[in-house]
Amino acid sequence: MKEVGRQPVAMQYISHYDSPLGQILLAADDAGLTGLWFEKQRYFALHLDKIHEERETEFIADAKKWLDVYFSGQNPDFQVPLHIQGSAFYQEVSAIMLSIPYGSTMTYGEIAAAIAERRSIPKMSARAVGGAVGHNEISIIVPCHRVVGAAGNLTGYGGGIERKIRLLELEGADMSRFFIPRRGTAL
């Protein structure tokens, strides 16, 4: 453990993974996987501690095995222990993303409606959901690539729209209703 101010903070560890879609940086602490980013993606390693150590921990090794299975075109039959950090809202959105089945998609509006229902409130902002999805720290394993616009528009993937398409195709998602908007945040 290292100390920040007077509060001890768990050390973060990093390792690299060569995927068919480019180099990936993995991060973990003693509680689970904390990050999975494609090199040079938007918000790359945004919350990675400046002081970290390059070491393949058990959680990172598990993530690499998961990615090996995933990139072979199969749905991994095990879950990597995750340490999702952030606001209660971000964690709620992440939990819903984790529930989206392999090869399926969900819209930002559907996630917003699910949160509104859980909170017993009349409405939740799909735009707020989009902000949380766009800042996902654990790409692929927390499948933000499975979140799409209501009309079928493929937007909001920090790793780039081409990777989002390739990930959905790898999972065998029905791509016939999706399109790339001419303007958008993930282009």
| Catalytically active residues, by annotation | 144
Q: Are 109 and 117 in contact (CB under 8 A)?
A: no
| Chain centre distance of CA 96 | 11
Judge residue 147's burial from the number of C-beta atoms within 10 Å of its C-beta, 0-12 exposed, 13-18 middle, 19 or more buried. buried
- Smallest CA-to-CA distance from 17 within 60, 77, 73 is with 60
Q: How far is CA 129 from CA 37, 85, 91, in A?
A: 20, 16, 11
* Residue 4 bridge partners (DSSP): 7
Q: Which residues have a Cβ under 8 Å from the Cβ of 43 and sit 6 or more positions away?
A: 37, 134, 135, 158
Q: Which two tokens stand for residue 110?
A: 């559907």
Please, what is the Cα angle at 186 between 35 and 82, to 5 degrees?
20
